[in-house]
Structure 1
Amino acid sequence: MQVLTGKKIYFLSDFHLGVPDHASSLEREKLIVRFLSEAKEDAAAIFIVGDLFDFWYEYKKVVPKGFVRILGKLAELTDSGIPLYFFVGNHDMWMSGYFERELNIPVFYEPQHFEFNGKEFLVGHGDGLGPGDKGYKFLKKIFRNKMSQWLFGILPPYMGMGIAHRFSKSSRAATGEDDARFLGEDKEWLISYCREVLKQKHYDYFIFGHRHLPIDFTLNDNSRYINLGDWIRYNSYAVFDGQNLELKYYRP
């Protein structure tokens, strides 16, 4: 894609709509919709890089209640001709065609390579990459398994959603302290992952979410790792104007 003068590509992630309660989630959803309405004026494309929802599961005839504002805004954007790209996160990995059919948004399950104006991008949510975290990587294989998803779908929605939200809450409690601070380049697993990838192929920008901490880290003279942070604490996002990529914060 060639980004024309005056146009921009937006990257944002980790909205976690649905938590910690309905009122605060709704307030956050309205803020994100406001941001997307403003971005619509000059967006060449918009990337949502995972964990839009704190939990999402598409039953055969049912999708989770709520989120009508964000879903309506996404439909409005694609209907207007703006390309959107969605990457599943660890909280909303159980997509099953709804975004593709209803919203015309392609859904990706692994990091993807893009080229914009001669710049090479590797974009993904970021969960399960890099060294360590073997427990989660094992669970991810189970959660991604079609049989596991089918078995979960047998549960009545009220029961399945209740279990999922309790699991999600315990997961956030376990990582909350680490999410709040930079661990040092040797302990940041996505920095380690980027460096391993660079041994095989050059990328100008690595863009990930999942970490919940805005990070702009120089890997070498020609490559940067950007973590998009979240919209729970930071309202952070990245924007590429065709020449430069910048990590920014939305303060309406």
Structure 2
Amino acid sequence: MLPTPCHVIGDVHLGVASPDSERRLLRHLRHLPESARSLVIMGDLFDFWFAWDYAMPRTGYRVLAALADLHDAGVPVLWIGGNHDCWGGEALHKETGAEYTLDPWRGQIGAWDTLLAHGDGLREVEDAPYRRLRTVLRHPWSIAAYSWLHPDFASRVALKSSHTSRKGRARDGGAGLLQVGTRALEANDGPRLVVHGHSHVPTLTPAGRGVYGNAGAWYLDHQLLVIADASIARCQVDVDGTVLQLEELPRPV
């Protein structure tokens, strides 16, 4: 169980995000204990991450340190791995103390029965080719082979090949993931809140028997979801760090 208020961010894409985006995130993380009791990262915090045995990507090290500080301050961090930061969950957990998982997460966030998933590969038809590719990329043999590449060369290759999966918004405007979430929310034993990332489309809407949310892409909009026991809100972090509420929905009874 994660305590509320819980802040949910996603798709920061450190490495291609602007310096302003990273500064806003750092400021928000450093002041987060003043307004939240837990944090959820919906994947793709990095545009590329890989855990070598004796090296780590330099990008985002200040953000990792801020996450470790949150853990030390007693603020639990749940990290749902995405398609850009899926290689190195154990290292990320050891460095930050965050609970890291590549699987969908089902549990309580305060009073909300919640299902969290990054969203890559969930659309049944459109994502079928990607699911086959993902099986190869995440196979232990592929990971072992990639680990032998020099980190500088490997990082350049990964960043050049990743631009298509981070470019702008989903072509369907997030409709495909909304359908996936709605099906889960319509099930008799389904959750009351489903949250995805990946589409880069900020969303907060009633669906099925509950609420569907997507924090969007931090590097594009600097938005987040704020989950309280009685409601969930979509918010935006201003340039001075002020959190502005854009919309709010009550928790279904």
**TM score, norm. by length of structure 1:** 0.87
Distance in 1 of aligned mates of 2:14 and 2:104: 22
Residues 74, 127 of structure 1: alpha-carbon distance in 2 compared, 3 angstrom cutoff: same
What residue identity is the alignment partner of 1:168? S
Query: 2:64 aligns to what?
Result: 71
State the SS of the aligned residue for 1:85: strand
Residue 187 (structure 2) pairs with residue 193 (structure 1): no
- Work out whether residues 86 and 105 of structure 1, in 8 Å CA contact, stay in contact via their aligned partners in 2: yes
Percent identity for Structure 1 against Structure 2: 27
Q: 2:46 aligns with which of 47, 53, 68?
A: 53
On the 8 A contact 1:180/1:213 being kept in 2, the answer is no
Instruction: State whether structure 2 residue 192 is matched by structure 1 residue 204.
Output: yes
Q: 1:250 aligns with which of 226, 237, 245?
A: 237
TM-score by length of 2: 0.87
User: What is the RMSD computed on CA atoms of the aligned residues?
Assistant: 1.9
Q: Which aligned pairs between 1:6-155 and structure 2 lie closer than 5 A?
A: 8-19=5-16, 24=18, 26-132=19-125, 133-155=127-149
Unaligned stretches of 5+ residues in structure 1: none
What amino acid sits opposite 1:60 in the alignment?
Answer: D
| 2:160 is the counterpart of 1:166 | yes
> 2:173 maps to what in 1?
182
Aligned to 2:246: none
Alpha-carbon distance, 1:196 to partner:
3.0
- 8 Å Cα contact 1:218-1:224 kept in structure 2: yes
Aligned length, in residue pairs: 237
Q: Cα–Cα, structure 1 residues 193 and 155, in superposed 2: closer, same or farther, change >3 Å?
A: same
- C-alpha contact (below 8 Å) 2:89/2:100 kept by paired residues: no
SS across alignment from 1:138: helix
**Could you list the per-position Cα deviations for residues 10-53 of structure 1 after superposition, in whole angstroms to 9, with x for gaps in the alignment?**
11110000016xxx2x3321110111123221321100110000
The one-letter code of the counterpart of 2:108 is E
